[in-house]
Amino acid sequence: MFYFTLDILGTIAFAISGVLVAMEKRLDVFGVFIVAFVTAVGGGSLRDMLIGNTPVIWMQQSVYAITIIATVIFAIIFQSKLKYFRRSLFLFDTLGIGLYTMVGIEKGLSAGLTPIMCVALGTMTASFGGVIRDTLCNEIPVIFRKEIYATACILGGFSYFLLRELPIADAYAYMAGLVIVIGIRLLAVRFKIALPSIYPKN
Amino acid sequence: MFYFTLDILGTIAFAISGVLVAMEKRLDVFGVFIVAFVTAVGGGSLRDMLIGNTPVIWMQQSVYAITIIATVIFAIIFQSKLKYFRRSLFLFDTLGIGLYTMVGIEKGLSAGLTPIMCVALGTMTASFGGVIRDTLCNEIPVIFRKEIYATACILGGFSYFLLRELPIADAYAYMAGLVIVIGIRLLAVRFKIALPSIYPKN
Amino acid sequence: MFYFTLDILGTIAFAISGVLVAMEKRLDVFGVFIVAFVTAVGGGSLRDMLIGNTPVIWMQQSVYAITIIATVIFAIIFQSKLKYFRRSLFLFDTLGIGLYTMVGIEKGLSAGLTPIMCVALGTMTASFGGVIRDTLCNEIPVIFRKEIYATACILGGFSYFLLRELPIADAYAYMAGLVIVIGIRLLAVRFKIALPSIYPKN
Each residue of A18-74: pLDDT tens digit? 998 899 888 988 889 999 999 999 999 999 999 999 899 999 988 999 999 999 999
* Candidates A35, A55, A136; nearest CB to B113: A55
Among the ranges given (A7-11, B73-77, B143-147), the one the predictor scored with the smallest mean pLDDT? B143-147
DSSP state of B80: G
In angstroms, the CA C77 to CA C29 distance is 11
DSSP state of C168: S
Residue of B nearest to C107 (CA): B55
In angstroms, the CA C101 to CA C93 distance is 12
Tell whether C84 is covered by a domain: yes
Tell whether C196 is covered by a domain: no
Is A145's CB within 8 Å of C59's CB?
no
In chain A, residues with a C-beta closer than 8 Å to the C-beta of B51 are 54-56, 59
In angstroms, the CA A24 to CA B50 distance is 29
Is C135's CB within 8 Å of B137's CB?
no
Residue ranges making up the domain that contains B35: 2-190
In angstroms, the CA A18 to CA B30 distance is 33
Is C198's CB within 8 Å of B34's CB?
no
CA distance A189 to chain C (A): 16
What pLDDT score was predicted for residue B202?
A: 57
Residue C80 CB neighbour total at 10 angstroms: 8
Residues of chain A with confidence (pLDDT) below 50: none
Helices (H), B25-169: 29-51, 57-60, 62-77, 86-110, 115-136, 150-164
Tell whether A195 is covered by a domain: no
CB A36 within 8 A of CB A25: no
Tell whether C198 is covered by a domain: no
Q: B55 in contact with A at a CB cutoff of 8 Å?
A: no
Query: Mutating which of A23, A24, A34 best tests the B interface, going by the most B Cβ atoms within 10 A?
Result: A34
What pLDDT score was predicted for residue A92?
A: 82
With a CB cutoff of 8 Å and minimum separation 6, the contacts of A72 are A15, A19, A32, A33, A36
Residue of C nearest to B135 (CA): C135
Residue of C nearest to B79 (CA): C199
CB C31 within 8 A of CB A146: no
Chain B touching partners, 3 or more CB pairs below 8 A: A, C
What pLDDT score was predicted for residue A143?
A: 83
pLDDT at B162 over 90: yes
Q: B196 in contact with A at a CB cutoff of 8 Å?
A: yes
Q: A30 in contact with C at a CB cutoff of 8 Å?
A: no
Task: Average the pLDDT over B76-80 and give the result.
Answer: 88
In chain A, residues with a C-beta closer than 8 Å to the C-beta of C45 are 50
Each residue of B6-62: pLDDT tens digit? 788 888 989 998 998 899 888 988 889 999 999 999 999 999 999 999 899 999 988
Angstrom distances, CA of residue A118 to CA of A102, A111, A123, C35, C59: 9, 9, 9, 19, 9
CA distance A78 to chain C (A): 31
Q: A191 in contact with B at a CB cutoff of 8 Å?
A: no
Q: pLDDT exceeding 70 applies to what percent of chain C?
A: 97
Is A195's CB within 8 Å of C29's CB?
yes
Q: Kindly give the interhelix angle for B115-136 and A62-77, rounded to the nearest 10 degrees.
A: 60
Each residue of C103-131: pLDDT tens digit? 999 999 999 999 999 999 999 999 999 89
Q: C138 in contact with B at a CB cutoff of 8 Å?
A: yes
Q: C194 in contact with B at a CB cutoff of 8 Å?
A: yes
pLDDT at B126 over 80: yes
In angstroms, the CA A148 to CA A191 distance is 11
Each residue of C147-200: pLDDT tens digit? 688 889 999 999 999 999 998 888 899 999 999 999 999 998 888 887 777 787
Is residue C202 very low, low, confident or very high in pLDDT (cuts 50, 70, 90)? Answer: low
What pLDDT score was predicted for residue B159?
A: 95
Q: A138 in contact with C at a CB cutoff of 8 Å?
A: yes
Each residue of C38-58: pLDDT tens digit? 999 999 999 999 999 989 999
Task: Mark A57-75 as b/e (b = at least 16 C-beta within 10 Å).
Answer: bbbbeeebbebbeebbebb
Is A144's CB within 8 Å of C22's CB?
yes
The count of C-alpha atoms lying within 13 angstroms of the C-alpha of C95, restricted to the half-sphere facing its C-beta, is 18
Tell whether B124 is covered by a domain: yes
Helices (H), chain C: 2-24, 29-51, 57-60, 62-77, 86-110, 115-136, 150-164, 170-190
- Average pLDDT, rounded, for chain C: 89
Is C146's CB within 8 Å of B56's CB?
no
Tell whether B200 is covered by a domain: no
Residue of B nearest to A36 (CA): B144
In angstroms, the CA A48 to CA A56 distance is 6
Our count of domains for chain B comes to 1
Tell whether A151 is covered by a domain: yes
Is B31's CB within 8 Å of C144's CB?
yes
What pLDDT score was predicted for residue A47?
A: 94
Task: Count Cβ–Cβ pairs < 8 Å, chain A vs chain C.
Answer: 82
Tell whether B93 is covered by a domain: yes
